[in-house]
Amino acid sequence: MSQPETLPLEEQRPWYRGISGFQWLILVVASAGWIFDIYENQIFAVARGNMLGELLHAPANSPLVIQWGDRINSCFLLGGATGGILFGMLADRFGRGRSMTLSILVYAFFSALTAASHNVWQVMVLRFLVATGTGGEWAVAAALVSEVFPKRARAHASGIFHASSLLGGFAAGLASILAGTNWRATFLMGLVPALLVFAVRFLIRDDKAHLGAVEGDIETGPAQPQPAPQHADEGFAAFWRNPVYRKRAICGLILAGVGLAGYWGVYVAGQDIARDFLLKHGMAAAAAEQEAKRAYSYYQNIGNAIGLFSMGPLCAWLGRRRAFFIMQVGALISAPLACFAPTTYAMQLFLLSVMGFFVNGMHAGYAVWFPELFPARLRATGAGICFNGARLLAATALYGSAWLKSRVELRQAVSILAMVYLIGLIVIFFLPETKGEATAD
């Protein structure tokens, strides 16, 4: 008997068949929130030179501007960790819709307020507050998508949700082009996501009357987000006292920390790797700088996009653990290859794309796996601790990466930093395989 004949009828259908219009709308709204979330992340990156140069009265490429940029980015990561845990707990206690609305308003308002900054300390505080909203939005939206979609479609939908982040980066780039050197206008555009709250409040209703059978993952009724649950064992303290969920949260946090450390230490070095290659082959510094930006923004990002949209199907096909195993082995191998193997610039661009596929593509798997590790009453809290708590590790990695790259040749430093994926390869075996499961145990 062939394998398809042994599967339940609902498992034989394509994942997108039988998905209701409401479920698609929830995916669109959650993805829109995440897209604007990434926009708020990236507008500082694109406006940093002009912004800090003006506030510090220094050239955009001066060491002082670079130093303050790293400080503000570290503060932003800390805010993301704080917001992810805080809004995750709020979502589990008061409902997904209310928490998502508040998180979007927080990051939109404080992003727009950044336009009024007059010194770098104000920017640092406001970026921390923006990050509390952006970190919180991911935790709530990831839990929401995981709950609304049936188990046969969950990996694909969650992967699409996280991969939509690509549009946020493009939106930030477009905003920077429209605003030019006027960085204040770029941040004022960050107020646009506030309009999304109307869709969130209209579509995501947390009252029990509108809830389907999410816990049982039954597809006969419209799946809906969870209400504010009334359990004796809710809350962060009770969550942390549970040894099963505590172990999963710690392992998930480490796994996400590996990915974020790889992003800051390996992925973002792609532009420097391309520039280093061009300079060594005789290209003028100014031309090499422009070409390296193109390599990072286009060629490496192509691999990134393919990897992000591939992770969900890989998780559905191979299982969560095997998909992460493949992506981390690929990252471990592709990073040193991108550093040392190229003999032509075309080969360099290709290997940077491959590196982008593995190093950043695995991140879409966090939205798939983390919400499945916890029951509905603790899902947003657990997912928020895993993904956003890892930003604390990433902040440390950001400083460690800068220290290593200042003392070791770039390609050697990137290859050493890629060894972090060995930790991830160990951690995945301490997490349960959740493929095909309706809920966490």
pTM of this structure: 0.78
Alpha-carbon gap, residue 71 to 86, rounded angstroms: 23
Domain extents in the chain: 15-205, 234-436
Section 239-244 average pLDDT: 82
Residue % of the chain over a pLDDT of 70: 86
Domain 15-205 has CATH 1.10.357.20: no
> What confidence score (pLDDT) does residue 3 get?
45
408 vs 236, residue with greater confidence: 408
pLDDT at 331 over 90: yes
pLDDT at 406 over 90: no
> What confidence score (pLDDT) does residue 236 get?
64
* pLDDT bracket for residue 328 (50, 70, 90): very high
Section 362-375 average pLDDT: 92
Domains 15-205 and 234-436 share a fold: yes
pLDDT in tens, 164-193: 888 887 787 777 777 777 888 888 887 887
> What confidence score (pLDDT) does residue 61 get?
64
Section 33-43 average pLDDT: 81
Please provide residue 222's backbone torsions phi and psi, each rounded to the nearest 5 degrees: -70, 120
27 vs 376, residue with greater confidence: 27
88 vs 256, residue with greater confidence: 256
pLDDT in tens, 204-237: 665 443 334 344 443 333 334 444 444 445 556 6
Please provide residue 217's backbone torsions phi and psi, each rounded to the nearest 5 degrees: 60, 40
Least confident of 70-74, 156-160, 265-269, 424-428: 70-74
Q: Which helix (H) or strand (E) holds 267?
A: none
* pLDDT bracket for residue 201 (50, 70, 90): low
Instruction: Give the mean pLDDT of the chain.
Output: 81
Handedness of CA 130, 144, 263, 292 (dihedral sign): negative
Section 404-432 average pLDDT: 91
pLDDT at 238 over 70: no
> What confidence score (pLDDT) does residue 214 get?
43
Q: Say how many CA atoms lie within 13 Å of 115 toward its Cβ.
A: 18
CB of 54 closer than 8 Å to CB of 172? no
Alpha-carbon gap, residue 64 to 19, rounded angstroms: 52
Alpha-carbon gap, residue 368 to 142, rounded angstroms: 8
Q: What is the 3-state secondary structure (H, E, C) of 397-435?
A: HHHHHHHHHHHCCHHHHHHHHHHHHHHHHHHHHHCCCCC
197 vs 24, residue with greater confidence: 24
- Per CATH, which fold does 234-436 belong to? Growth Hormone; Chain: A; (1.20.1250)
Q: Which of 240, 199, 211 is nearest to 378 (CA)?
A: 240
* pLDDT bracket for residue 330 (50, 70, 90): very high
Least confident of 156-160, 162-166, 257-261, 404-408: 404-408
* pLDDT bracket for residue 438 (50, 70, 90): low
Residue % of the chain over a pLDDT of 90: 27
- Which residue has tokens 């657990």? 382
pLDDT at 412 over 60: yes
Alpha-carbon gap, residue 133 to 99, rounded angstroms: 10
Burial class (CB in 10 A: 0-12, 13-18, 19+), 63: exposed
